[in-house]
Amino acid sequence: MATRSKFERKLPEERRRILIAATLKCLGEQGHAGLSVRKISAEAGISIGLINHHYPSKDALVAQAYETLAMGLLDGAKAAVAQANPTPRERLTAFFRATFAASGFDHGTFRAWVVFWGMIGDSRLLAETHDRTYGEFRSCLEDLLADFTGGTPKTVPDIRLAAIGLSALMDGLWLERCLNPATFSIDEALQICDSWLDSL
């Protein structure tokens, strides 16, 4: 009987999905040490040669993992908004709740983000991926804020700046709670965001 190959044959799309999942797992468990292509290969069960076939560089694989994580979080928030009550305030609250879901504060997810952010200054691909995904996140917030304020310049002169400010507030709360969950609860983070909305 023939011995089964260590690396199973899989469709290209499936291989890429597995590689991205392996990359996120390695970064989440080992931080920067998890950037090793050899470690990712072992975790994915896919040879280094096949990794090079699917991705021209390690940066390309990491950038794809970054985009997958960022867009997965945004898609989850959009789904929550779509299922929320139709009032603009309820839709924004649903966005906050989805963004601050307990799973988002997983230590592995935090470690992966730290690696991604640390690479942005040295990787054009990572910088482009950040700009694109952040742009989509901000665009979603702009739409929600425009609905909330009725789109009246008298209330909010610059929706773009409002979205940047709210995004920065949410990022800061997320980062601080990842560093020390005892500082405030998720409900308190939501309360802070709701208070920011009230200030509009």
Asked whether residue 78 falls in the same domain as residue 39, the answer is no
pTM: 0.87
In this model, does residue 4 exceed pLDDT 60? no
> Rounded mean pLDDT of 119-141?
96
Q: Which structure tokens are listed for 93?
A: 């609250």
Asked whether residue 23 falls in the same domain as residue 69, the answer is no
Q: What is the CATH number of the domain that holds 41?
A: 1.10.10.60
Asked whether residue 184 falls in the same domain as residue 87, the answer is yes
Asked whether residue 2 falls in the same domain as residue 63, the answer is no
Asked whether residue 49 falls in the same domain as residue 64, the answer is no
Asked whether residue 105 falls in the same domain as residue 171, the answer is yes
pLDDT band at 16, cuts 50/70/90? very high
Residue 134 domain boundaries: 58-199
Asked whether residue 83 falls in the same domain as residue 127, the answer is yes
Asked whether residue 134 falls in the same domain as residue 179, the answer is yes
How many independent structural domains does the chain possess? 2
Q: What is the pLDDT of residues 68-118, one digit of tens each?
A: 999 999 999 999 999 999 999 999 999 999 999 977 788 999 999 999 999
Asked whether residue 26 falls in the same domain as residue 117, the answer is no
Instruction: Give the model's pLDDT for residue 124.
Output: 95
Q: What is the pLDDT of residues 139-174, one digit of tens each?
A: 999 999 999 988 555 567 789 999 999 999 999 999
Give the residue with greater pLDDT, 9 vs 172: 172
